[in-house]
Amino acid sequence: MIRKHVIVRGRVQGVGFRYITSSIASKYHVTGWVRNEYDGSVEIEVQGPEHRVEMFLNELGQGYRFARIDSMDVTEIPTINALKEQQFRIRH
């Protein structure tokens, strides 16, 4: 089990990027959250088995039709108790 902190920069706000992120998280059965930041970036924390987190990050990094990803800064952080976080959420 691993947890990653991710900052995504580019055209990632106002284009449905948080919803796409949530959809990809559901596909790979990982938990965590995503939210917009004031500087125009998107912040993500994602947790799950290492191979699932890596597949999530790989697909996320491919972008999609309306978003443009200029950079993704990924850092490994301590995991949290799975009982405290059982799904992937969009934070507002």
The residue assigned the tokens 């938990």 is 31
Dihedral, 47, 52, 54, 60 alpha carbons, nearest 10: -90
Q: Which amino acid is at 70?
A: D
81 is catalytic: no
Model confidence at 84, pLDDT cuts 50, 70, 90, reads confident
Catalytic, out of 18, 58, 65, 81: 18
Domain 2-79 has CATH 3.30.70.100: yes
Q: Note the Cα 11 to chain centre separation in Å.
A: 15
Q: Tokens for 29, please give them.
A: 């059965």
Report yes or no on whether pTM surpasses 0.95: no
**Residue 87 C-alpha from the chain's centroid:** 12
Could you tell me what percent of the chain has a pLDDT over 90?
A: 87
Give CA 29 to chain center in angstroms: 12
The domain segmentation of the chain, as residue ranges, is 2-79
| Catalytic residue, candidates 9, 35, 36, 89 | 36
Q: Could you give the angle at which helices 50-61 and 17-28 cross, rounded to 10 degrees?
A: 150
Task: Say whether 58 is catalytic.
Answer: no
**pLDDT tens track for 23-65:** 999 999 999 999 999 999 999 999 999 999 999 999 999 878 8
